[in-house]
Structure 1
Amino acid sequence: MERLRGWPAWVAVWALIVLTATGCTSSGGHDGSLHQALPTYGSYDINAAPSADLRAGGTLTVPITQMVTQFNFNHVDGALDDVWTIDTMTEPRLFTRDAEGVPRIVTDYLTSATVSTAGGHQVVTYRLNPKARWSDGRALGWRDFAAQWHAVGGGDDRYLVADPSGYDRIADVGQGAGAHEVRVTFRQPYADWRRLFTPLFPAAAYDSPQHFDSDWQGRLPVTAGPFRLASVDRTAQTLTLVPDTAWWGTRPRLDRIVFRVLDPDAALQAFLNGEVDVVNAATSEAYAQLAKAKDTDIRIGSAWDEVHITLNGASGPLADRAVRNALQQAVDRPALAQVAASGLPVKVPLLGNHFFMTNQPGYADDSGLYGRFDLAAAERALDRAGWRSQGEGRPRVKDGRPLTLRLVLSEGTNRLGEDLAQLVQQMLARAGVRVDIEKVPATAYGPQYLDKGNFDLAIFRFTGLTYPSSAYAVYRRPAGGQVFENYGRVGSAQVDKLLGQAVGTLDERTARRLYDEADAEIWRLGHDIELYQRPQLLAVRKGLANYGVPGLGDIDFAKVGWER
């Protein structure tokens, strides 16, 4: 599945499954020649067109990997890519990102947002659009901001939050000069303040731990967006959104958007059969069938999208950093990237950084020896850690226990994800590490396995972390009952200190230096095995406009429609 951590939380992608709304092609298409350079920073491919020139009406059908059960994106069980997409269509999105990841005000909700200093504190003043109202008739106001701050950043463990970053630096939220002005005062500076309160959620469904959890299970209790949730059909496994007649902004072009639960193979066939209008094309099997399919555009662009192997350091053999470091060197990352690139028209570069993509300003390879494939070094490290070789084909042993690890894989994983898991299994076997692959239901993969640390190895993706501070929750040490997004429970005081400084540093050059220092320490800790930057290739039905791969930005579904 995908874990989404692009804005407030994880845009992560559980276990390499299909990305439903991120891939693209221009109207000109692509020639299919293999292994061209990865698209440059900020490139996008959405068949952009003035929405007024598009046909009014029509349906867009999009595959998703699992049924949404928790619609609260800030909840630990709701921080998924599909939930992010739905919430930003139905709840206030104060800022939207352009193709280069730069946030821009959404004037349907804000007339301005300014930063000042008062008493030595950073203060953000939001001026709300007076037309903006919740579906229960209330105007958006400071109490909605305050409830979200208390729930997400208040430190109350009864709120099961995915990522408190930024919210936990706020000192106060109050009314400004009038009912439509909100003042947010920070006790510590926060550079990426624009990522907060997007989406903004209603105080009526956020003002208690019970509301924060149960009010969003299977439904959207209060909305304020261009779309509303019309139906949840658990038999047909579909979610249907339609334009909200109370919407005060420009009316969406589409009559409805249907999200349909399909596994990767079924989604591919459904697209070829004309049953869905978009499908992932970023695997060799899918691209081979889709590149020349009838009425199909392949849209290609550059996004924040990484694939990695999380290492669970909470217990078992991987609690020893030396063993985690050995695994880093025993995995042949270039070979895995080569498999991922097979048959695709773009390169799949290795990643040496946890915060920046290879074609993004700020990127530096901080991996050092921990990112270098060296089987002999891995074997020596395991020897020193007390894991004794028992001969080829047999797992190492320490204190009578074999070196056996569980790689937990979602049943929603596509064929590429399965291939990668099997290759990792074979690579680690050469070092004397036995890996048992365990497939689990897609709906349980997050809440029952990742969230609870019920695994040794897990392959999945984080996507959309264009704000580097978005990744703070992935690498910070768990506290109390909160794991945040650090599923492997690997961290250190040094990483926390460096990231705490980085997210509060307003000078971009200094912040990047701090992120680099933290990144080098994350590699040294053996937090994970960073693999590669995933290319964005999406097959879409010809004639679909303003949809595809938006670079480092966001899709505006109100502008999506069909050409006349």
Structure 2
Amino acid sequence: MSLNRRAWRLAAPLAVLALLAGACGSSGSNNSGGAAAAPQTAGQADINPQDVSSLQQGGNFRWAINEIPPNFNYNELDGTLSDNADIINSLYPRPFFFDAAGKPTVFADYFTDVKLTSTDPQVVTYTINPKAKWSDGSAVSWEDFDAQFKALNGTNPAFQVSSSTGYSDIAKVEMGTNAQQAVVTFTNKFSDWQSLFSPLYPKAVNATPDAFNTSLTTSPGVTAGPFKYDSTDQTAKTVTLKPDAAWWGDKPVLGSITYVALDQAAQVQALVNNEIDYTNIGSSVNDNKTARDAQGVSVRQALAPDYRHLTFNGAAGSILSDKDLRVAVMKGINRDGIAQALLNGIAQNPKTLGNHIYVEGLDGYQDNSSVVSYDPDAASKALDALGWVKNGDTRTKDGKTLEIRDVIPTGVATSAQEAQIVQQNLQVIGVKLTIDTVPSAGFFKDFVNVGNFDITHFAWLGTPFPVSSSGSIYGKYADVQQNYGRIGDTSINDLFTQANQELDPAKKIDLANQIDKAIWDEGFSLLLYQRPQNHAVRSTVANFGSPGFGDVDYTKIGFTKS
């Protein structure tokens, strides 16, 4: 995906990265029963590529999501989730379009040219396609860039941003040769400059903190894409988009897209019952088998830059505020056992992920996780040394029981299974884990975002910019951004600053791995496994499925002719 910060998902649905109509891959119609292992080759997509001339014109594509987004502003803290990205990627401009290998090209529908025009100081010039118009008829202009920079640069905490990375390095945005050219000058070098202004919102959304925080809570508002917002049905829990007649690019094949909010546990059966056309089944063995056994359903697979993890809450006053305690607890959790239990039969050679910045398949990946290698004896000794004395089945210190609250969402089998394994592991070392299952609809907004947990687990979605998109998660700043566990220090912040300014790829990789080692040492989060991208789709759907590392071309999604 070309969005510039990581989104999160509850469980099976993942990847905000999307797909290319011309990307390589089979039709994915593997309905042989059981669960096939996902391929492990980066740069491939499995989307049933078809020429649009061979497809039916029109039709409603029913796309399962977990919840109607609480905010359609992806840059606002509550809006940075995959369900929202699935919707807005067809509605707003982006400077670049990414192929299945994560390689960018200028998104020509929106820009005729985007390039680095100076390195000292760093200057990027965006030349807007003169055909690009917002749905209210106004032209996309440099003022939209300027307003978004000012909202996201971190200088005004009233803007509830999910990340200021990159924008905080910009000095100014100016008009170029005309109003359809934005010239962005940086104070500090920012190597992942291609990630910025993606998505780009109209200037009114970014004009004031109130507009930024609340103006898109009920609908996407003014847009500029092949689709436009049509309606929301809160009773049926649907959001419907329809083609925008004013769209200047290739016309969409579909007549509408309806996003249907369903509990994850109900999605695959809804697909089997022909109530939806697509669900992301991820690493659920049961869902994979159900989808493969169903008539008229295909499971399409690709390697994705996304992963499951346990986030630890290290905020002051929390039971896990002690770094050494967090690391000790991590050593008591069998990550290999979790990966085997969750991925056996779903992925080839299930194994744990060892790097917070890079996933396997990306240059720079190396396993830095030895500090938390599974070792119950070492974990027990570390807890003893910290004064947590084992009394019977649990440990106490100063009259307080070592009890950890694991918050998970309802209806997500993956989270429940992980939690049960962690509970069993920690019982061995005298740590009591209480599993607190909360409503999935408010899981992030009411619990994760506000730090209402001791540990919690969900999936981080990768982007083509693994370093800069990680800064809002693992950096510690005055505002939370995406650091929900409130863990970190200035040395990690400084390393992110250096890495984001480093234009030499090899030096940037070295800095990124220094960051990762520091994150492990902090006991920030316990990575579990890289998630296979398993998408269950109605077999008649073309140009859609498992996208790998690429972007969706929403105009080419359609149904084959019967």
Does the TM-score normalized on the shorter chain lie above 0.5?
yes
d(CA) in 2 for partners of 1:431 and 1:38? 36
Q: Which amino acid aligns with 1:305?
A: D
TM-score using structure 2 length: 0.95
Indicate the SS of the match to 1:247: coil
Task: Report the CA distance between 1:86 and its aligned residue.
Answer: 1.4
C-alpha deviation, 1:275, in angstroms: 1.0
Residues in 2 aligned to 1:521 and 1:32: alpha-carbon distance in whole angstroms: 44
Alignment partners' CA distance in 1, 2:539 and 2:36: 24
Question: Where does the alignment leave 5 or more consecutive residues of structure 1 unmatched?
Answer: none
Name the residue aligned to 2:22: none
Question: Is 1:35–1:341's contact at 8 Å kept on the other side of the alignment?
Answer: no
Q: Paired residue for 1:355?
A: 357
Contact kept? 1:230, 1:240, Cα under 8 Å = yes
User: Shift of the alpha carbon at 1:212?
Assistant: 0.6
Distance 1:28 1:473, change over 3 A: closer
Deviations 1:382-433 (A, max 9, x none): 1111101112xx2200001000111111124x21221111111111111111
Counterpart mapping for 1:142-181 below 5 A:
142-181=142-181
Conservation of the 8 A alpha-carbon contact between 1:21 and 1:548? no
Give the one of 13, 18, 31 matched to 2:13: 18
- Does the 8 Å contact 1:64/1:262 carry over to 2? yes
1:473 is matched by which residue type in structure 2?
Answer: S
What is the aligned partner in structure 2 of residue 124 from structure 1?
124
> SS of 1:499's equivalent?
helix
Alignment match, 1:49: 50
CA contact (8 A) 2:113 2:127 kept: yes
TM-score (norm 1): 0.95
Between the aligned partners of 2:349 and 2:61, the Cα distance in structure 1 is 30
| Distance of 2:295 and 2:249 partners within structure 1 | 36
Counterpart residue number, 1:302: 303
Pairwise CA distance, 1:6: 6.6
Matched, 1:550 2:550: no
Q: Give the partner amino acid of 2:422.
A: V
Q: Deviations over 1:507-562 (max 9, x none)?
A: 11100000001101100100011110011111111121110111111111111111
Q: 1:506 is aligned with what amino acid?
A: L
The reply on whether 1:423 has 2:425 as its aligned counterpart is no
Question: How many residue pairs were aligned?
Answer: 552
Task: Say if 1:459 and 1:387 are closer, same or farther in 2 by CA, change over 3 A.
Answer: same
Does 2:529 align with 1:528? no
Other structure's SS at 1:396 match: strand
Contact 1:93–1:200, Cα closer than 8 Å, also in 2: yes
Aligned 1:90-239 pairs, distance under 5 A: 90-117=91-118, 120-239=120-239
Partner AA of 2:336 in structure 1:
P
What CA distance in whole angstroms lies between the structure 2 residues aligned with 1:36 and 1:415? 19
The answer as to whether partners of 1:23 and 1:538 remain within 8 angstroms in 2 is no
Selected match of 2:326 from 319, 324, 327: 324
> Unmatched 5+ residue regions in structure 2?
20-24
2:487 equivalent to 1:490: yes
Q: Deviations over 1:341-388 (max 9, x none)?
A: 134253433100011111222111111232x10000000111111101
Contact kept, 8 Å, 1:337 with 1:349, in 2: the verdict is yes
State how far apart, in whole Å, the 2-side matches of 1:11 and 1:21 are: 7
1:117 positional shift: 2.0
Classify the secondary structure of the residue corresponding to 2:125.
strand
Distance 1:131 1:6, change over 3 A: closer
The match for 1:82 is 83
Q: Is the 8 A contact 1:10 1:162 kept in 2?
A: no
**Equivalent residues in 2 for 1:318-467 (5 A)?**
318-344=320-346, 346-370=348-372, 372-391=373-392, 394-412=393-411, 414-467=412-465
CA contact 2:17–2:462 (8 Å) conserved in 1: no
Letter in 2 for 1:558: T
Identity of counterpart residues, as a percentage? 37
- Paired AA for residue 400 in structure 1: G
Given that 1:287 and 1:343 are in contact with CA atoms closer than 8 Å, whether structure 2 keeps it comes out as no
- Residues 93 and 201 of structure 2 are in contact (CA less than 8 Å); yes or no, is this contact kept in structure 1? yes
Aligned partner (choices 5, 10, 27) of residue 9 of structure 1: 5
CA distance in 1 between counterparts of 2:347 and 2:192 reads 34
Deviation digits for residues 260-300 of structure 1 (CA, Å, limit 9, x no counterpart): 01112221111111111112333111111111310121100
Rounded to whole Å, the distance in 1 between the matches of 2:75 and 2:521 is: 30
Q: Give the whole-Å Cα distance in 1 for the aligned partners of 2:117 and 2:107.
A: 20
Q: What's the secondary structure of 1:308's corresponding residue?
A: strand
User: Are residues 324 and 546 of structure 1, via their aligned partners in 2, closer, same or farther at CA, if it must alter by over 3 Å?
Assistant: same
Shift of 1:136: 1.5
